[in-house]
């Protein structure tokens, strides 16, 4: 063994830095011991115990830096000393070694870091979501609970707590909200305006806000409640709070209530509140015909399109009439031409939706034109598909339903399952029309139109003898991260018919089917 040393007179270095340097030298080939220290009496004592105190080092003083190594051979010792010398000059912690900056872990700490925070947007797995929501409410935060798989019991508990504290509990399973112009979770970027929405349906709210903008008006707030809010157990707690809030809110002049089919237990309670509301209210609870029960104090709308149209009329100080036929345009020529190109066996409609409420609305509109439609979320129980994987006659599928999303992303984010299903439907020679929603906005896929266009081209390539028409509605705006005009252009270039509203898309599809029927006769 050889012991070699180097003394750097009057070179002070911090002891921690030197310990780290020592550790590096110690790792070098052939080095059994190494020490880089200031030659203080204490350090010299340590060196002595380690058998490294040569007389020169013993004479060094506390301001001198000493490097001592014990190595198996001369060459290794020299190498180590040189390396130590070099490290002393250049020694610095490598860049980028610092761990990423720490984010707060708890809601409480989040509030400390962001003073004035007033909303918690919660999207953690359902098992944990209720507990986080309670913490948020106890911290005085409104809650937007995007998570699903929260029990009904927890939903009731959360909303009771919210009511006690005067805080919103939007959700669970609340896909969208727009508060003070801020789109939350899955939401479109829409103009601000006088219409306030309370919605027990994510895509219902999205469609309503998009159509209101398309009709030249704007949104004050869109408050989501989650789809179960109007159930008997929850009792419409958040829809009632939403109405209170919008009634008081100075920027709201017209209130629009939207709900997916809800069961009618809570409707009377909601209507009772609507009757007392000082602002005009449009009520659209899908599948519930309230045309007779609202009389003069509120406006009934059968579809979301109808609701948006009436709300905009009210906001403009006009009579809330039903949307006129051919309001969006005259598509007779388009329909006739499509029908002309079809083969005799083509007769069926297949709708592939990502938004449950959009599927509901399409079925309501189409039901009046073409009759029974099978579905995984049917309007009547007898129309339930035996298997959601296999379409039958006229079929509309909600691919955003739980059975399709368990353990995988929602089809608004991941287009693959829906594209596969499109291929499956296109393959069927009896299919005449494939109806699709294209939902853009924050949260959605960056280019849903591009994905649909690609899927349609692939289908045409795979089955050149088939020629089902593809009809789409883009639930989106120019302000979305995926601008409307570009999405429409992509679709039209691919030969996809793009209609300006979900209901209109359904109507045009229905007219095609109807004309095919009479052609067949």
Q: Distance between CA atoms of 163 and 156, rounded to whole angstroms? A: 10
First-to-last alpha carbon distance for the chain, in angstroms, is 105
* Closest CB to another protein among residues 101, 295: 101
Q: Which of residues 16-35 bind another protein (CB under 8 A)?
A: 16-17, 19-20, 22-23, 33-35
Q: Which of residues 431-450 bind another protein (CB under 8 A)?
A: 442-443
Please tell me whether residue 185 binds another protein under the rule CB under 8 A: yes
Quote the least distance from Cβ 442 to another protein, whole Å: 4
What DSSP letter does each residue of 382-421 carry, written as one string? Answer: GGB-S-TTS--SSEEEETTSHHHHTTS--TTT--HHHHHH
Please tell me whether residue 58 binds another protein under the rule CB under 8 A: no
Quote the least distance from Cβ 41 to another protein, whole Å: 9
Binder among 12, 63, 151, 166 for another protein (CB under 8 A): 166
- Whose tokens are 């060094």? That residue is 60
Q: Which of residues 83-102 bind another protein (CB under 8 A)?
A: 93, 97-99, 101-102
The continuous run of DSSP H or E covering 122 comes out as: strand 119-122
Do residues 412 and 444 lie in contact, with contact meaning Cβ atoms separated by under 8 Å? yes
Please tell me whether residue 72 binds another protein under the rule CB under 8 A: no
Tell me how many degrees the CA angle 411-417-418 measures, rounded to the nearest 5.
70
Please tell me whether residue 1 binds another protein under the rule CB under 8 A: no
Quote the least distance from Cβ 255 to another protein, whole Å: 13
Binder among 65, 71, 168, 365 for another protein (CB under 8 A): 168
Per-residue contact string for residues 334-373; x = within reach of another protein by CB under 8 A: ----------------------------------------
φ/ψ of 226, rounded to 5, equals 85, 150
Q: In a 10 Å sphere around its CB, with 0-12 CB exposed, 13-18 middle and 19+ buried, how is residue 124 labelled?
A: middle
Please tell me whether residue 197 binds another protein under the rule CB under 8 A: no
Quote the least distance from Cβ 294 to another protein, whole Å: 26
Quote the least distance from Cβ 145 to another protein, whole Å: 10
Torsion sign, CA atoms 467, 495, 455, 441: negative
Q: Distance between CA atoms of 393 and 430, rounded to whole angstroms? A: 9
What DSSP letter does each residue of 53-91 carry, written as one string? Answer: --HHHHH--TT-EEEEEEESSHHHHHHHHHHHHHHHHH-
Choices 105-113, 268-276, 338-346, 455-463 (CB under 8 A): range interacting with another protein: 105-113
User: How many helices (H) and strands (E) would you count in the chain?
Assistant: 18, 19
Q: Distance between CA atoms of 202 and 102, rounded to whole angstroms? A: 33
Secondary structure of residue 508 in the 3-state scheme: helix
* Closest CB to another protein among residues 250, 464: 250
* Closest CB to another protein among residues 226, 367: 226
Secondary structure of residue 31 in the 3-state scheme: strand
Quote the least distance from Cβ 36 to another protein, whole Å: 8
Binder among 1, 9, 29, 46 for another protein (CB under 8 A): 46
Q: Which of residues 482-521 bind another protein (CB under 8 A)?
A: none
Nearest Cα to Cα of residue 188 among 480, 485, 487: 480
* Closest CB to another protein among residues 17, 460: 17
Choices 46-54, 351-359, 367-375, 421-429 (CB under 8 A): range interacting with another protein: 46-54
Residues linked to residue 384 through DSSP beta bridges, in sequence order: 375
Binder among 110, 378, 429, 450 for another protein (CB under 8 A): 110
* Closest CB to another protein among residues 127, 390: 127
Nearest Cα to Cα of residue 379 among 364, 357, 366: 364
Torsion sign, CA atoms 387, 388, 390, 396: positive
Binder among 49, 89, 289, 330 for another protein (CB under 8 A): 49
Binder among 9, 125, 216, 268 for another protein (CB under 8 A): 125
Q: Which of residues 211-240 bind another protein (CB under 8 A)?
A: 221
Quote the least distance from Cβ 220 to another protein, whole Å: 8
* Closest CB to another protein among residues 7, 121: 121
* Closest CB to another protein among residues 110, 483: 110
Quote the least distance from Cβ 508 to another protein, whole Å: 33
Secondary structure of residue 424 in the 3-state scheme: helix
Binding residues for another protein, total number by CB under 8 A: 76
Quote the least distance from Cβ 100 to another protein, whole Å: 8
Residues linked to residue 400 through DSSP beta bridges, in sequence order: none
* Closest CB to another protein among residues 38, 366: 38
Q: Distance between CA atoms of 211 and 217, rounded to whole angstroms? A: 9
Count other Cβ atoms within 10 Å, centred on residue 452: 28
Please tell me whether residue 152 binds another protein under the rule CB under 8 A: no
Q: Which of residues 261-320 bind another protein (CB under 8 A)?
A: none
Do residues 322 and 306 lie in contact, with contact meaning Cβ atoms separated by under 8 Å? yes
* Closest CB to another protein among residues 138, 332: 138
């Amino acid at each position: 063994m050889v012991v070699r040393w180097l003394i750097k007179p009057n070179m002070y270095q911090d002891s921690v830095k030197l310990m780290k340097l020592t550790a590096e030298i110690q790792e070098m080939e052939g080095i059994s011991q190494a020490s880089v220290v200031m030659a203080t009496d204490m350090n010299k004592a340590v060196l002595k115990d380690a058998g490294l105190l040569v007389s020169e080092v013993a004479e060094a003083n506390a301001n001198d830096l000493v490097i001592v190594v014990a190595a198996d051979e001369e060459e290794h010792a020299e190498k180590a000393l040189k390396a130590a010398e070099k490290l002393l000059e250049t020694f610095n912690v490598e860049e980028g070694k610092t761990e990423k900056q720490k984010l707060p872990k708890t809601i409480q700490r989040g509030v400390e870091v962001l003073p004035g925070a007033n909303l918690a947007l919660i999207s953690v797995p359902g098992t944990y979501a209720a507990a986080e929501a309670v913490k948020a409410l106890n911290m005085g935060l409104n809650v937007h609970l995007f998570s699903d798989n929260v029990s009904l019991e927890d939903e009731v508990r959360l909303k009771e707590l919210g009511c006690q504290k005067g805080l919103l509990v939007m959700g669970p399973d609340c896909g969208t909200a727009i508060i003070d112009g801020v789109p939350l979770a899955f939401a479109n970027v829409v103009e601000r305006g006088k219409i306030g929405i309370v919605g027990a349906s994510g895509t219902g709210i999205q469609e309503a806000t998009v159509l209101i903008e398309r009709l030249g008006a704007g949104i004050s707030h869109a408050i989501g409640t989650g789809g179960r809010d109007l159930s008997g157990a929850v009792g419409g707690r958040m829809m009632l709070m939403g109405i209170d809030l919008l009634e008081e809110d100075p920027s709201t002049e017209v209130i629009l209530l939207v709900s997916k089919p809800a069961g009618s237990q809570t409707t009377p309670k909601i209507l009772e509140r609507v009757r007392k509301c000082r602002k005009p209210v449009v009520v659209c609870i899908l599948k519930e015909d309230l045309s007779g029960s609202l009389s003069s104090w509120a406006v009934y709308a059968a579809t979301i399109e109808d609701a948006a149209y009436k709300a905009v009329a009210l906001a403009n100080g006009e009579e809330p009439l039903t949307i006129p036929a051919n309001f969006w345009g005259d598509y007779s020529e388009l329909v006739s031409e499509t029908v002309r190109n079809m083969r005799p066996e083509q007769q069926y409609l297949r709708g592939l939706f990502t938004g449950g409420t959009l599927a509901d609305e399409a079925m309501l509109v189409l039901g009046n034109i073409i009759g029974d439609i099978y579905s995984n979320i049917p309007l009547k129980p007898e129309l339930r598909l035996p298997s959601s994987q296999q379409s039958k006659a006229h079929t509309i599928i909600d691919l955003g339903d739980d059975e399709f999303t368990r353990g995988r992303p929602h089809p608004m984010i991941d287009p693959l399952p829906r594209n596969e299903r499109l291929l499956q439907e296109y393959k069927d020679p009896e299919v005449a029309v494939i109806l699709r929603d294209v939902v853009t906005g924050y949260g959605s896929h960056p280019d849903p139109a591009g994905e649909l266009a690609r899927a349609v081209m692939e289908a045409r390539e795979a089955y050149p003898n088939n020629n089902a028409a593809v009809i789409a509605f883009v639930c989106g705006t120019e302000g979305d991260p995926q601008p409307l005009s570009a999405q429409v252009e992509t679709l039209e270039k691919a030969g996809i018919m793009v209609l300006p509203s979900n209901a209109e898309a359904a109507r045009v599809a229905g007219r095609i089917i109807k004309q095919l029927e009479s052609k067949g006769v």
